[in-house]
Structure 1
Amino acid sequence: MIKRILVFALCIGLLFAISYSLHNYFITDSLSFQLWQVYLYHALAALIVYSCMEGVSSALPTQAGYTYLVLMFLKLGIFVLVFKHSVFDNDQLTQTERFALVVPLFLFLTAEAVAVAKLLNSK
């Protein structure tokens, strides 16, 4: 269990470093929020969700799917609370800013979903 969490943490760290570097390199416009904070939030949230899923899948394997669903809602809700002032108070987000919010979400959500699916299929 600890080994799988550490491997996942390493993969998330690499995904964070590579994707943030590439994304930051290709953005030419200034954003109304800090891009690294969005990436960091999604990386930490993915790590927390996976760690929780490891614990739940070993203790209550039949409830793991429901737990994952609840954790997804919590993750998105906390994102809205944390970034409310810097992102959601701005009515005029540019197309670049919209993509800068969606790209990290889908990158880390995909990595997290693949890892959780692999975990649940192994149980």
Structure 2
Amino acid sequence: MVLFLIVHFFQDYFLNYSNAIIRFNLWDTNLFFAVASLIICVHLKFFSTIKNLQPQLGFIYLPTLFIKGILFFIMFKSSVFNLDVLSTTERLNLIIPLFLFLGLEVYFIVKIIRKIEV
């Protein structure tokens, strides 16, 4: 959640500083990425406690990327995907949080899997 606040307020500061206009709600898109990553990490932490699922955690994680993408499309179809062309600023304000939360997600997943192997 700290990363969510840092990302959001940094984006907000940058947009105000550069007088850029974003045609979708940054709070909602950032919140989606943060909550989706949190849910994935919590579920994989829970699955790591089940002995039969421990060797399969990496394979369980892979479909979550596609599910997250599909849910993002469904939730933001009218606000993001309805726009004909995204400006560079709008693209960056979608891609940067996506990769930051994905990186944090992978970091925690690797920690969970390494803890099991020890």
Q: 1:71 aligns with which of 64, 80, 85?
A: 64
Question: Is 1:26 matched up with 2:38?
Answer: no
* Residue in structure 2 matched with residue 10 of structure 1 by the alignment: none
CA offset digits 1:57-99 (Å, max 9, x no partner): 2211011111100111111110111111111111111110011
Helix, strand or coil for the counterpart of 2:22?
coil
CA RMSD in angstroms, aligned pairs only: 0.8
TM-score (norm 2): 0.90
Decide whether the 8 Å contact of 1:42 with 1:108 is kept in 2.
yes
How far, CA to CA, are the matches of 2:30 and 2:111 in structure 1? 23
How far, CA to CA, are the matches of 2:28 and 2:8 in structure 1? 10
Deviation at 1:114, TM superposition (A): 0.4
Count, aligned residues: 111
More helix by share: 1
How far, CA to CA, are the matches of 1:86 and 1:19 in structure 2? 20
Unaligned runs of 5+ in 2: none
Deviation at 1:18, TM superposition (A): 1.1
The equivalences for 1:1-123 within 5 A come to: 13-27=1-15, 28-59=19-50, 60-123=53-116
Q: Which has the larger radius of gyration?
A: 2
How far, CA to CA, are the matches of 1:73 and 1:117 in structure 2? 19
How far, CA to CA, are the matches of 1:76 and 1:57 in structure 2? 24
* Residue in structure 2 matched with residue 5 of structure 1 by the alignment: none
Which of 37-46 and 55-64 deviates more?
A: 55-64
How far, CA to CA, are the matches of 1:96 and 1:15 in structure 2? 20
Where does structure 1 differ by over 6 angstroms across 4 or more consecutive aligned residues? none
Unaligned runs of 5+ in 1: 1-12
Matched-pair identity in %: 37
How far, CA to CA, are the matches of 2:7 and 2:80 in structure 1? 20
Deviation at 1:32, TM superposition (A): 1.0
How far, CA to CA, are the matches of 2:47 and 2:67 in structure 1? 16
How far, CA to CA, are the matches of 1:44 and 1:115 in structure 2? 14
